[in-house]
Structures are given as structure tokens and as C-alpha cells.
């Protein structure tokens, strides 16, 4: 049985709980988005995914989403479906849009998408040093379920551990449907 969601793009997404009166669109990432996405990625991560990483994600059939408004890119996300769960591989808000509620709203939409597709949980990895992301995930109910030693590249040729976080997904549509 397929648990992949079936969403006909583009989807209008109004997220008044996140940014008042903001109208967003969320749609599947396409090959034509890769340059802009990889450029933004290089702005916001010291160890960014390459354009090849994003391209490989599309080729692998992962769900990759672009969040935008009429002015352009707000953020993007990549998630991988595994039986009964979704693993969030990338969640990023454009540098110019951070700390305005978009990250939380995107995460909630992604949890909703996971729920609509039948996932029972969403998991992800995060750097222990990434305080903004850790605070966001903690406030959304994520709990640590493991640690991957020396998972991420770091400065001076060192490695940084990854914390593995998980949040249960309620059956159906915990977030987002009412906003679409
Ligand atoms: C982490 C990230 C996704 C958060 O998105 P955002 O749109 O900036 O965050 P929001 O405005 O939605 O804020 C949500 C919560 O995140 C936390 N947060 C966001 N920015 C923060 C900061 N600079 N310092 C501390 N906490 C922060 C807060 O808990 C905040 O809740 P609050 O506003 O009630 O205090 C975004 O900053 C980002 O893309 N960072 C770079 C890429 C990255 O690290 N991605 C996650 C990889 S696991």
C-alpha cells in the first residue's frame, strides 16, 4: 500500500496562525528550482547541501517542497517516506524570512502532509549546536530518541553529533488542511 500523499500542485496555503494575512503557495520542488534553492542553502548553512544533493533527492522520489509568495522563495523542505513514518531531511527558511514564524508554519504543514499520507511519526536529525532549530522542534513536541555520533561535518575537519528527534503524528490531519 502506498502511503505517499497525492497533492495536486500548486496548493494555495494561507497561514494566518503564522504570519498575519500572509498568502503562501506550497508546491513540489522542480528541477527549475534547484539553482535558487541551492543558492539559498549556501547562504544559510555553513555546510550546505549541494545542488547535486537536491537533484538526487528529486531523482530518488523524495517529497521536496518549495514555499513561496509573490515576491519569491520563502523556504523549502525535503522529506523521505519510510513505512509508517516520514523522515525530514531538510527544513530551511530563506535568510531574509527567518524569525517571522515561517519555520514553525512550514513544519506544521509538513506534519499535516505526513498525517494526510498516513504517517504515524515524523523524525529528523539536528545539530546539538543548532539552538534555533532545537527550540522550534522542542516547542512542537519533538522528543530525542537517539544520537548519531560524528554525523555532521564541522569546522577544522571535526565532526558533530546528530540528535535524532521524533514527534508522533495524529491520524488524519493534525495541521494545515483548514489553511489550504
Ligand atoms: C531553524 C529554522 C527552520 C526556524 O525557522 P524560522 O522561520 O526562523 O523560525 P520561526 O520564526 O518559525 O520561530 C519558531 C521558533 O524557532 C525558535 N527560533 C527561531 N529562531 C531562533 C533564534 N534565532 N534563536 C533561538 N530560537 C529561535 C524559537 O523557539 C521560535 O519560537 P518563538 O518565536 O515562539 O520564540 C530557520 O531558522 C532556518 O531555516 N535556519 C537555517 C537552516 C536550519 O538550521 N534548518 C534546520 C535544520 S535541522
All domains in the chain, ordered by first residue: 11-179 (3.40.630.30)
Region of 61 on the Ramachandran plot (φ > 0 left; ψ -120 to 50 alpha; else beta): left
Chain CA centroid to CA 99, Å: 16
First to last CA, the chain: 26
Ligand 1 atom closest to the Cα of residue 138 is 29
Any atom of ligand 1 within 6 Å of the Cβ of 99: yes
How far does the centroid of ligand 1 lie from the alpha carbon of residue 47, in Å?
18
Chain CA centroid to CA 103, Å: 8
Any atom of ligand 1 within 6 Å of the Cβ of 133: yes
Cα dist from 71 to 35, 46, 67, 97, whole Å? 17, 26, 11, 11
Q: Read off the pTM.
A: 0.90
For 125, other C-beta atoms within 10 Å of its C-beta total 17
pLDDT at 15: 45
pLDDT more than 90, % of the chain: 80
DSSP, res 116? H
How far does the centroid of ligand 1 lie from the alpha carbon of residue 93, in Å?
8
pLDDT above 90: residue 174? no
- Residue with the three cell numbers 522542534: 137
pLDDT above 50: residue 175? yes
Amino acid at each position: 500500500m502506498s502511503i505517499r500523499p497525492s497533492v495536486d500542485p500548486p496548493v494555495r496555503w494561507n497561514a494566518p496562525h503564522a504570519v498575519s494575512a500572509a498568502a503562501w503557495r506550497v508546491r513540489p520542488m522542480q528541477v527549475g528550482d534547484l539553482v535558487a534553492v541551492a543558492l539559498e542553502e549556501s547562504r544559510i548553512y555553513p555546510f550546505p547541501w549541494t545542488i547535486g544533493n537536491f537533484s538526487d533527492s528529486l531523482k530518488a522520489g523524495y517529497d521536496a517542497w518549495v514555499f513561496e509568495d509573490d515576491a519569491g522563495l520563502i523556504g523549502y523542505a525535503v522529506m523521505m517516506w519510510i513505512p509508517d513514518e516520514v523522515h525530514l531531511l531538510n527544513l530551511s527558511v530563506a535568510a531574509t524570512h527567518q524569525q517571522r514564524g515561517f519555520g514553525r508554519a512550514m513544519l506544521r504543514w509538513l506534519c499535516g502532509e505526513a498525517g494526510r499520507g498516513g504517517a504515524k511519526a515524523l523524525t529528523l536529525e539536528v545539530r546539538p549546536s543548532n539552538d534555533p532549530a532545537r527550540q522550534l522542534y522542542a516547542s512542537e513536541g519533538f522528543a530525542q530518541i537517539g544520537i548519531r555520533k560524528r554525523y555532521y561535518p564541522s569546522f577544522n575537519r571535526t565532526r558533530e553529533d546528530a540528535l535524532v528527534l521524533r514527534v508522533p503524528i495524529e491520524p488524519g490531519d493534525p495541521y494545515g488542511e483548514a489553511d489550504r
